[in-house]
A and B are shown apart, each in its own frame.
Chain A
Amino acid sequence: MKRFLAAALMTLAFLLSACNMVAPTQNGEEGMAMDGESGMDMSGGSMAADAIEAQATENGLFIVSAVSQLDPVVINETHSWVIHIETADENPVISADISIEGGMPAHNHGFPTAPRVTENLGDGDYLLEGMRFNMGGVWVLTLEISSGGQTDSVTFEFELK
């Protein structure tokens, strides 16, 4: 039994390590701005990417992506992101209301700040100000998007190492 557990555990470890290796490539194929390897200099609370891969909202109404204005994203610096929203058929959503939630589910706390969308930049881009991370680990960012009488939400999950 012990051996079986160990084997199962190690298979899991293998899968995890594999995920870690291929993730940047996948993002690259999506044409997102990516940093190279985060490298030693950026350890201690930074995100390997400055962009978050496009993701569909829960009910498929919108496609949402995000690019940080702070590159690389590091802990303990308040900064802005640009959120880009398109419809499922890839037309920019030009007048959305966006509300923000998020934090670290594993730590049972939210963002240390109260980020909010402060400006509609046009062409489906929105300025999200007041983003801040205060520790390394897995963070989530949930955007509730309302446009044209319809509401849908999307949750991004990412890790700062």
Chain B
Amino acid sequence: MLALVALAIIAALIAGGLGVAGPIDAAFRDLMGLPERANGRGLFTGALSAHSWTEAERGLIASLSIDRLPPLPPDPSNAFGDDPAAVALGQALFFDSGLSPDGSVSCATCHQPERYFTDGKRLANVRGADTPRHTPTIVGIAYSDWFYWDGRKDSQWAQALAPQEAPVEHGGSRTAHARYVLGAYRSQYEALFGTAPDVSDENRFPAHAAPMDDEAARAAWDGMTASDRQTINRVFANIGKSIAAYSRRIMPGRSRFDDYAAAALVNDQARMAELFTEEEAAGLRLFFGDGQCTDCHNGPQLTNGTFHNIGLPLPEGSNFDQGRSLGTLQVVDDIFNCLGDYSDADEEECVELRFIKLEGEELVGAFKVPGLRNVAETAPYMHNGIFPDLDAVIRHYNHAPPAFPGHSDLVPLAFSEEQSAALIAFLLTLNAPPNAPPELLQPPQGEE
């Protein structure tokens, strides 16, 4: 019997060394009455072990580093996406409240550079009225395949168009915005997109016309010829492509975590100890270990870019939000999608749209996994802004109530207060100013 146990211990050591038997290791320690490992419930076991990682763990840590973020690939649907002239025009448009009928709303109203391009509000709020969703950051968002919390747009430029016509956001229309941009930015527009169409005839191009809920605007749109509607759509798409050329330049910066990951990669424990407290290291261990956070928050932006239902509570008085199960239908129907007439991509380049998942219970009530860089600076949290701070977020993950409708992808973490605090301490290490030229983080200077 003793020999068998000895053999078992050797087996455990081998298995542990290969990193394939974490749960078995924990069960073994429990059975044998041994203290738990540093990556289990006991968090602080001495300075050395806090920064002592297996090779596999160091690989995992490195996989989250900004050093693994590839150069931003071109957006094949936006031929102007990397054109400096489009960046300049897009920056001007991003900050221009002329793109709203009352002159009060620009993209920057909600995407405020000083707040990591968020607004600090539970729900985006324009002219004193709430929109249905919380403002997400745009830092690093250019790497996404899908835009909006429900992914109802498949490019940054197509996304940039929708708020302009949403009554609770800019409140404008594509004819109004086409006329405005072709007036105020004519030379910049023509330098990029060629001769501007003449849209001055109000009979052909009504002041406020778009295929939207507003009946008057819709009627005006329906009264236009197909060719005039295409002319306006083309200008409108070019407005979006310019704004996207600007916003795709706003990249995530290098955080303290990224320096730690670089030290971990070469196993420099002295450097690691300089960079992270034991608590922060313990939080990192929980992040990819017991917390299983890296199931969804993986890769250098700490998101897998897909959609999950995590059983969020409904804000009082609000209706169930279908999330991705509706967003899929909308993006497939969007005339500004990758396969549409206004996209610059070939069909085979529209891989995400061609292979979009349209069916599955997991789409119901699912929302895009947000990246976690600067998470501490971008409260409140979730698509509905339901959690005011990270404490509330971790409480939700600790309890993980079932979703209804749909099914929640979470299992309760049941972390202790000490563990929860460590996890948050780690999340705070992901802060870094955006990586973009300073002149892009403000309205263009010297222009009206």
- The answer to whether A44 and B294 have CB atoms under 8 Å apart is yes
Q: Cβ of B12: which chain A residues have Cβ within 8 Å of it?
A: 10, 13-14
Q: Cβ of B62: which chain A residues have Cβ within 8 Å of it?
A: 40-41, 43-44
> How many residues of B are counted as interface, with CB atoms below 8 angstroms from the partner's CB atoms?
51
24 pairs of residues in contact across A and B, judged by CB atoms under 8 Å: A9-B8, A11-B8, A14-B7, A14-B8, A14-B10, A14-B14, A17-B15, A17-B18, A17-B20, A76-B304, A78-B352, A109-B360, A110-B360, A113-B357, A114-B355, A114-B358, A130-B351, A130-B354, A130-B355, A134-B305, A134-B306, A135-B296, A135-B304, A161-B56
Q: Give the distance in Å from the alpha carbon of A110 to the alpha carbon of B363 in the complex.
A: 10
Looking at chain A's contact residues, the main secondary structure is mixed
Question: What is the CB-to-nearest-CB distance from B136 to chain A, in angstroms, rounded to a whole number?
Answer: 18
- The answer to whether B362 and A109 have CB atoms under 8 Å apart is yes
- The answer to whether A114 and B356 have CB atoms under 8 Å apart is yes
Residue A42 interfacial (CB < 8 Å): yes
Q: Give the distance in Å from the alpha carbon of A13 to the alpha carbon of B358 in the complex.
A: 40
Q: Cβ of A12: which chain B residues have Cβ within 8 Å of it?
A: 24
Mask of B275-314 contacts with A, CB within 8 angstroms, 1/0: 0000000000000000000111011000011110000000
Residue A22 interfacial (CB < 8 Å): no
Given contacts A40-B59, A113-B356, A115-B355, A17 and B11 within 8 Å (CB-CB): yes
Stretch among B25-33, B37-45, B424-432 lining the A interface: B25-33
Q: Cβ of A113: which chain B residues have Cβ within 8 Å of it?
A: 352, 355-357
> How many residues of A are counted as interface, with CB atoms below 8 angstroms from the partner's CB atoms?
43
Q: Cβ of B307: which chain A residues have Cβ within 8 Å of it?
A: 112
Q: Cβ of B298: which chain A residues have Cβ within 8 Å of it?
A: 44-45, 75-76, 134-136
- The answer to whether B32 and A17 have CB atoms under 8 Å apart is no
- The answer to whether A43 and B63 have CB atoms under 8 Å apart is yes
Residue B64 interfacial (CB < 8 Å): yes
Q: Cβ of A116: which chain B residues have Cβ within 8 Å of it?
A: 355
Residue B129 interfacial (CB < 8 Å): no
Q: Which of A114-156 contact B (CB under 8 A)?
A: 114-116, 129-130, 132, 134-137
Q: Give the distance in Å from the alpha carbon of A3 to the alpha carbon of B276 in the complex.
A: 39
Q: Cβ of A13: which chain B residues have Cβ within 8 Å of it?
A: 8, 11-12, 14-15, 21, 24-25, 28
Question: What is the CB-to-nearest-CB distance from A62 to chain B, in angstroms, rounded to a whole number?
Answer: 24
- The answer to whether A6 and B5 have CB atoms under 8 Å apart is yes
Q: Give the distance in Å from the alpha carbon of A2 to the alpha carbon of B33 in the complex.
A: 10
Q: A10-B12, A13-B8, A16-B24 are in contact. List 17 more A-B contacts (CB 8 A).
A: A6-B32, A7-B7, A11-B8, A13-B14, A13-B25, A17-B21, A20-B20, A40-B55, A41-B62, A76-B304, A107-B295, A109-B409, A112-B306, A113-B357, A115-B355, A116-B355, A135-B294
Question: What is the CB-to-nearest-CB distance from A70 to chain B, in angstroms, rounded to a whole number?
Answer: 12
- The answer to whether A17 and B1 have CB atoms under 8 Å apart is no
Given contacts A45-B63, A45-B298, A109-B362, A11 and B355 within 8 Å (CB-CB): no
Contact partner of B4 among A7, A110, A130, A135, CB < 8 A? A7
